[in-house]
Each structure stands twice: as structure tokens, then as C-alpha cells.
Amino acid sequence: MERSKKPGPIPVNTAGAENSGFGFERDRVKLSLPTGESAEILLHGATVISWIVGGQEKLFLSEKAVLDGSKPVRGGIPLVFPVFGKSTEGPTAPLPQHGFARLCKWELLGRTSETDTSIQVDFGLGPENLTVDQRKQWPYDFGLIYSVNLSKSSLETKMLIRNEGSETFVFNVLFHTYLRIPDVNNLTISGLKGTSYKCKVTKSEAVEETEELPVGSEVDRVYANVPSTVQVKSGGDPIFKVDRTNLEDVVVWNPWEGASKMADFGPEDGYKNMICIEAGAVSKWHTLEPQSVWEGSTIINI
């Protein structure tokens, strides 16, 4: 983001933070709490690539994921903005699938709060962080502030989008979260019943009828206006609870055996240990008028 438009320094609340941790190394930020929880975020795409609770990794990261900035990360939490999927028409048509946010090197704005039980870091992205080609593809003046907040048993991600120009723009935004799961064959997802969805596999639309949705094959569904919390259960036991604020939609994705066709997906049967539960605003365009701000967040609880 342009220096003049960056948020002013936010006073850091360090009450009781003697043992918590914030580390910056070359291309990534590491957060940790005195109780052992940690998270790791690359500047590339501001992609969260690790979240550890109770000594266990909670995010799936492909063992073939490319982390050097040359392509989006296969795993963790890539950021989707300003378009979800690939547009064939309209102002986002020139952009690649899922937009540019996951492709850019974000700026570290700093640690914005810290206590013994939580720590937050903010990243910024603006037109000056885009390549000349990306600027041509989407020539709007915008400012993004992305916050990652690690607490003892939850990870919150929050996006603030500002229109800093004189032209209105439309956008989609989504947290493309790859959750690590013990076995997809024992998995169910609840909280979607009664919600309309578009299935990208069968190219059809339907209303979800299942209370506890199993995943037994490729799934790629965009659930619109999901009213409540979505829970991921393993063998009937809740393992993740996903709450959303101002993010009305949820995408459920697992490529199943199609994963073997992705050069950066590994191991080949890794799809058994992942499910993407993606909180976003993607089923319709959101309009942002000049000098207006939009904010949305999601919190994943263990």
C-alpha cells in the first residue's frame, strides 16, 4: 500500500505478552503463543501455510507446494481477490483464476496486538505491489489490509478492502482454506442443510438436503448465503467450527483423484487428508463505491 495511505501505527497491547512470539524471517512471519500454538504466514500471497494447535498441524499443505512466489501455494490459506474462479466477461475477465491477491508479495504492516492468549499480524496490498501487467488487468485504486489472529484454539482471518480511487469497482473475496483432516472417508460437514448451491462438478444447482454431508468423491460446490456455523466432523466428532462475519458464502472443495493431475499436489492420495471449507463473498459481485470500505472475517475454532 502507498506509504501515505497506510494505517497509522496501532498501539500494541502487550499486556501479559512476555512469552509470546513474533518472528520475521526473510519471506515469512511466525507467530507463537506461550502455550505452544503457532502459525506461519508467507509474504507471498500473505498465505498462511501452517497452524499448529496441541502439537498438531491443522492446515493441509501439499508436499509439492511451491513457496518461492512463482505460483499460488497449494494448501494453507491462499487469498482469493478480486475474482473467484475465472471471469469470462466484465472488468475481472483479464485476470487469472482467483485473481492476483494469492500471487503478490504483500507488505508486512506489523504486529497489531499481542497478549498471552492471542497475537495478531497485519499485511497490506495496494496497486504499487502489483506487476505492470496486473495493474493493466485491474486498474483500480484499492487498499487491502489482511489480519491474521492466532488464539489458543482458533485462527481468525480478516480482510478489509478500501476503494481509494474515484471509480466504483466490484469484487469477490474468499479465504481458500485447506483444512487438514484425518480421513475424508470419515468426514461430514454440517450447517449447510437448506442452502442453495451450485455444483461445479455436475454443472447443476440444488438445495442441500443433507444435515451431515459426507464427502465420497470429487466435490466443488458454492453454497450461497449459508445462514449458520459450518462444522467439520470426523467420525461424528466436531474437529473444526467455522464462523463467518459478512462472508455469506461457503465453498466446499476436494479434488479427489483429480488431485493427481495437479503438478503441485502431493502426496497423490493427499486428498484424503484435506477438505477446503472456504468462507467468502463469491456468489454475487460486491460493489465498492469510491472511498468506501468493506470488511469480512472468518474464525476457525478447534
Ligand X SMILES: O=P(O)(O)OC[C@H]1O[C@@H](O)[C@H](O)[C@@H](O)[C@@H]1O
Give least dist CB 94 to ligand X, A.
16
Could you say whether residue 278 binds ligand X (CB under 6 A)?
A: yes
Site for ligand X in 17-56 (CB under 6 A): none
Interatomic CA distance for residues 272 and 130, integer angstroms: 35
> Catalytic residue numbers?
176, 278
Peptide bond into 82 cis (omega under 30): yes
Looking at beta carbons, which residue is closest to ligand X? 253
Give least dist CB 181 to ligand X, A.
17
Give least dist CB 220 to ligand X, A.
5
- What is the pattern of x (binds ligand X, CB under 6 A) and - over residues 250-269? -x-x----------------
Site for ligand X in 194-213 (CB under 6 A): 200
Give least dist CB 172 to ligand X, A.
11
Residue number with CB closer to ligand X (26 or 203): 203
Interatomic CA distance for residues 188 and 190, integer angstroms: 7
Give least dist CB 129 to ligand X, A.
20
Residue number with CB closer to ligand X (165 or 258): 258
Beta carbons within 10 angstroms of residue 18's beta carbon = 8
CA torsion, ordered 241, 247, 174, 119, to nearest 10 deg: -60
Place of cell 508486512: 108
Residue 97, C-alpha cell as written in the block: 483464476
Is 291 part of any known ligand binding site? no
- The side-by-side arrangement of strands in the sheet containing 237-245 is 107-114, 118-125, 142-151, 154-163, 293-301, 237-245, 230-234, 187-190, 212-214
Residue choice 97, 202, 225, 292 for contact with ligand X (CB under 6 A): 97
Interatomic CA distance for residues 82 and 104, integer angstroms: 13
Could you say whether residue 72 binds ligand X (CB under 6 A)?
A: yes
Size of the site for ligand X (CB under 6 A): 9
Could you say whether residue 125 binds ligand X (CB under 6 A)?
A: no
Could you say whether residue 71 binds ligand X (CB under 6 A)?
A: no
Could you say whether residue 152 binds ligand X (CB under 6 A)?
A: no
Contact between 16 and 118 under an 8 Å Cβ cutoff? The reply is no
Could you say whether residue 184 binds ligand X (CB under 6 A)?
A: no
Q: Which helix (H) or strand (E) holds 298?
A: strand 293-301
Classify the phi-psi angles of 276: left when phi > 0, otherwise alpha if psi is within -120 to 50, otherwise beta: beta
Could you say whether residue 176 binds ligand X (CB under 6 A)?
A: yes
CA torsion, ordered 269, 270, 274, 279, to nearest 10 deg: -110
Annotated binding site for substrate: 74, 97, 102
- Indicate the annotated binding residues: 74, 97, 102
Residues that bind ligand X (CB under 6 A): 72, 97-98, 176, 200, 220, 251, 253, 278
